Amino acid sequence: MSDPINTPNGGAKPAENGAAQDAAFSVLTQYIKDLSFENPGAPQSLGNRERAPDININVNVNANPLSETDFDVVLSLDAEARDGDKVVFKAELVYGGVFRISGFPQEHMLPLLFIECPRMLFPFARQVVADATRNGGFPPLMIDPIDFAQMFQQRMAQQAESEETPTTA
């Protein structure tokens, strides 16, 4: 099975009569919306360390329609390195992309927006974070690949659970 994102016609498959369907998926632009790097212990924190700091990474994805076919998808990456109770560094990135998506069945839209779009943005966002940590005087933080499909499934399960939970007054 081929990857529909990488096909020359944006994933459209020939219809029975030979005409292409109107399905299209493309990246219009990518951008850094917000970038912050904090190095509160510099220059003392830049010396040789006895052990590597503990690093916690949080990832979030949001999508907003700009028009009927254009969507702004934002990938947020927050990384914090700690040595005990001291923050060694903190990197926060909000990285966005504008995607044009049309011709797909409605049931495919959420997976496209919350799995495929962030999957395309991630390598670029990862590089921005790696460059920021390196420019901050630390080894580049190379964030491991993220399973956006699993994140999406968890998000859908949480939404379903919250809809089923009755509220008490």
Task: Give the tens place of pLDDT for each residue, 55-100.
Answer: 999 999 999 999 999 999 999 999 999 998 999 999 999 999 999 9
Task: Give the tens place of pLDDT for each residue, 88-142.
Answer: 999 999 999 999 999 999 999 999 999 999 999 999 999 999 999 999 999 999 9
Q: How far is CA 14 from CA 6, 9, 20, in A?
A: 15, 10, 4
The alpha carbon dihedral of 139, 144, 148, 152 has a sign of negative
Burial of 75 (0-12, 13-18, 19+ CB in 10 A): buried
| Domain boundaries, given as residue ranges, for the chain | 21-143
Nearest to 27 by CA among 62, 78, 72, 79: 72
Q: Residue 132, Cβ neighbours under 10 Å: how many? A: 21
Burial of 148 (0-12, 13-18, 19+ CB in 10 A): buried
Which CATH entry fits the domain spanning 21-143: 3.10.420.10, 3.30.70.360, 3.20.20.80, 3.40.50.300?
Answer: 3.10.420.10
- Write the CB contacts of 67 (distance below 8 Å, at least 6 apart in sequence): none
